Structure 1
C-alpha cells in the first residue's frame, strides 16, 4: 500500500485499525507520540514507520507473498502553485516504486479534492507515455452522502469487537448506530471516468493521426460491444495499419466499409453511440469523393493538416499521377500505366501549351523531387532542392495541395489529352531503369 496524506491525516486511526486487525498489541507510548507529533508540521516521515509496519503485518497475514514495502508519502495541502508542484513531485515518486505488470487499486475516499486530480493525471502520464506497463483495476470512492442503512456491521468487512467502539465514536463511518442499524456509505468504482478519458484520447488520435489502435482496444474490451461493434474495432485497426503503411487503394476501400458500418442501426451501443458522429465526420470526408485522385489529394491534405508531411508529399505525387491516368483513361492501379503517364510531365516542358498545363507539370516535378528526398531519408541528391532548407518544404506543403486542387478542376487540364496526346507520350516513354533510385 502507498498511503498519501498530509501531516495531520488520520495516521493515528490507521495505526489503531491495522494493529487491531492483526490482533497485535497497541504501543500506547507510540500512540501518544503519534497523536502529538502529527498535529505539528513538518515532522520526520520516519515517525510513521510503525504505522506502515502495522499495515505490512496485516498484508502479510492476508497474503503471504506480500513484500513488506508499503510506503507513506506526505503531501502539502496544495494551496498554491508551489505546493501543488511539490505534491506532483511526490506523486511522481510512486512511479519509480511500480513494476511492470502491477495492478493498481486507488482509494480516494478520504482524499482532498486536489489529490484525486493528481492521481488521475499521473495515471494518464503513466499510461499515455507507456512509462510503466501497469493495469488500473479501479479507483474507489466512499460516497458518504449516499448512505444506506444496513442491519449488520460485518458487511463492511470490519470484525466485531473493538471496531464497534470506533463506529460509535464516529471515527470510521461518521454516524452512530440508530436503532441497532448502521448507516454505511457506498463504495463506488470511478474507473469508468478514466475509461471515458481514454475513449476521448483514443478517438482524437484516430481522427487526427490515423492511430486507431487505442480505440480498437477500447471497443474490444467494452462490455457493451456486440458483433457489429467488434467488427468496427477491427476495421479501425485495419485503417490504422493501412494509414501508417500508406497503402492508398486498400485504405480507401476500408474507409468506405467503415462508413457503411457506422450507418448500421445496431452500432449505437455504449459510448460508441456518442463518438459515432465524430467517426462519421472522418469517414464521410473521404467516402464522399468520387475518384481515386480526389481521395488521394484529400488524404494528402489530411496528412499535412496533422503535420505528417512525409506521407503528405507521397500522397500528393500519387494524386497527380492518378489524376493524369484518369484523364487519359488508363488503369490507375497498373504500375506500368503510371510509369507511362509520367512521360506526360516531361512533355509539358517541351510542348507549347497553356499556363495551367505547364504549371501542372512543374507541380509534379517539384513535389516528386521532395518525395524522392523523403523516401531516401534525404540521402539522395536532387540539385533543384538541395539548397532548400527542410522547413521550407513543410511551409510549402499546404500551398502545393491547394494548387493541385485548383488545377484538378481547371478546364485546361481536362483538355490536356488533346494537346499532349497518348501517342506523343508513348513515343517519348522510356521504361524505368530498375537499378535507378525512384
Structure 2
C-alpha cells in the first residue's frame, strides 16, 4: 500500500504568519502553508512531507533567520513546533527555468513518488512553469506509478492583502483559506476519456467517470434533487453509449440497432434538461450524437454502416466478421428467414459459395438441396455484387485463426483489404435494402 505524501515547494518570500482554514478547521499559527496542509489534510493518518527548494530558498526559509528585530522561523523549526512527528524531507532543485531544467525538475519530482502513493500537491509557492510541470508529473505518475491525487492545494494568503499590510494586522484577523483545486485536475481524466472515445469509440472511461460523479453527487446532501436527477440521466446516457460501443466491438450485429435507438432516446432526455451537472460532459453531447448519426431506421444499411464504424475505429477483425455475417443477415431479411437460425444461415452461406464458385450440384454438401437451390435462384442476379464475398471469407478465416495457416496475409494488408471489401459489397447491401423496402410497401398496400 502506498504512502500519503505531501509534495510542496519552498520559495524566497518573507512569509508572514497567519492561520489557514479548510472545511471549518483552522491550522496552527504559521509562516508556512506546508505545516497547515499537513495539519488539515492528514486526518490523523501518517503523511510524509517532501519540500522542493532551491539552494537560495533553503538559505532564506529553511532555517531560522533575523529580519530586523524579529526572528523568523525556518520551515524545519516550524514543523518541530507544530508537528514534531512529521517526516520532512528537503529536496534541492535548481533555479533554472529553461527546457532542460524543467526536465530535471520532472525527474526530481518523479523520484520522490513511490508506487501507489496518494499525493497531496501544494502549489502555493510554485514559481513560473512549476505548476505546469507539476500537473504533468501528477498525470504521468498516475499512469506509471499507479499514484492517486489526494488533493491539489493552494493557500490563498493574498486574500489578506499585501504582505506589508498583513504585517500590521492583528493575529486574529490573519485567516487565509486553503483552496482545493483537485476538481480541475479531473479534467485530465475527462481529457483521456474524450480522447479515447474520439479515437476508438470506446466510452468506458467516460462511463466510469460519470458513474463516479454520480456517486459523489448522491452523497452530497447540499445538492438538490433536480441536480441529482440530471446527473442520473447523464450517467444513463454514458451507460447507453458504452453499451452501444460494446455491442459493436463484440459483433452483436442484431443488437446494434436496438442499442443505437436506446442511446438516441436517452440523448433526447438529457438534451431536454439543462445538462450542467457534469460540465465536462456537456460539450460531448454533439460529439456523441455525431458518432452514431450514420445509423437510421434501415436495418440492412445499418448493418453495412456498422462495418464502416468498425473500420473508422481500427476494429478490423470485427469489420470482417460483421461484413460477412451481415451480408447473410441481409439475405435472410429479404427472404423472411429466421435471422438467428443457424441452419437457415448455413444454407445462405452455402448458396453464396456455390454460386460464386460454380460448384456442380453433385458436389454440394448441403442440408437441404431444395432450399439452397431457391436461395441460389434468388441471388443469381446479384452474383456480380457478391464477387468479393469469397475473398472476405478467406480474410475472416485468416484473422480468426490468428494467421496459423499457410500463406497468411501480412498484418499491414488487412485494413486496405477490408476497406476494399466494404466498398465492393456496398452495392449488394443497397440492393437488399431496396428489395426489403419494396416488399414492405407491397405488404403494406395489401
Pair 1:92–1:360, CA change in 2 (3 A): farther
The equivalent residue for 1:30 is none
Is the contact made by 2:156 and 2:176 (CA closer than 8 Å) also made in structure 1? yes
The equivalent residue for 2:140 is 125
Identify the match of residue 139 of structure 1 among 152, 165, 173.
152
Deviation at 1:341, TM superposition (A): 0.8
SS of the residue aligned with 1:39?
A: helix
Deviation at 1:401, TM superposition (A): 1.7
SS of the residue aligned with 1:409?
A: helix
Identify the match of residue 338 of structure 1 among 339, 345, 353.
345
Give the aligned CA root-mean-square deviation in angstroms: 4.2
The equivalent residue for 1:84 is 102
SS of the residue aligned with 1:284?
A: coil
Is the contact made by 1:407 and 1:413 (CA closer than 8 Å) also made in structure 2? no
Is the contact made by 2:316 and 2:418 (CA closer than 8 Å) also made in structure 1? yes
Alignment of 1:396-411 (within 5 A): 396-410=417-431
Is the contact made by 2:6 and 2:122 (CA closer than 8 Å) also made in structure 1? no
The equivalent residue for 1:275 is 284
Encode CA deviations 1:223-275: one digit per residue, 9 max, x unaligned. Answer: 25533233234334433543443323234322221210110124724224332
SS of the residue aligned with 1:73?
A: strand
The equivalent residue for 1:327 is 334
Structure showing greater relative contact order (alpha-carbon pairs closer than 8 Å, 6 or more residues apart): 2
Q: Which runs of 5+ in 2 are unaligned?
A: 18-29, 37-53, 64-73, 218-226, 359-375, 437-446
The equivalent residue for 1:202 is 193
The equivalent residue for 1:211 is 202
Q: Which runs of 5+ in 1 are unaligned?
A: 23-36, 150-166, 416-438
The equivalent residue for 2:393 is 368
Is the contact made by 2:157 and 2:176 (CA closer than 8 Å) also made in structure 1? yes
Is the contact made by 2:156 and 2:178 (CA closer than 8 Å) also made in structure 1? yes
SS of the residue aligned with 2:324?
A: helix
What is the TM-score when the length of structure 1 is the normalising length?
0.67
The equivalent residue for 1:160 is none
For this pair of structures, how many residues does the alignment match? 356
Deviation at 1:299, TM superposition (A): 2.0
Identify the match of residue 296 of structure 1 among 303, 328, 344.
303
The equivalent residue for 2:22 is none
Deviation at 1:311, TM superposition (A): 1.8
Is the contact made by 2:160 and 2:175 (CA closer than 8 Å) also made in structure 1? yes
Supply the distance in 1 between the matched residues of 2:390 and 2:146 (Cα, whole angstroms): 47
Deviation at 1:196, TM superposition (A): 2.5
Deviation at 1:59, TM superposition (A): 8.3
Is the contact made by 1:357 and 1:413 (CA closer than 8 Å) also made in structure 2? no
Supply the distance in 2 between the matched residues of 1:355 and 1:91 (Cα, whole angstroms): 70
Supply the distance in 1 between the matched residues of 2:81 and 2:325 (Cα, whole angstroms): 66
Moved more, 370-379 or 187-196: 187-196
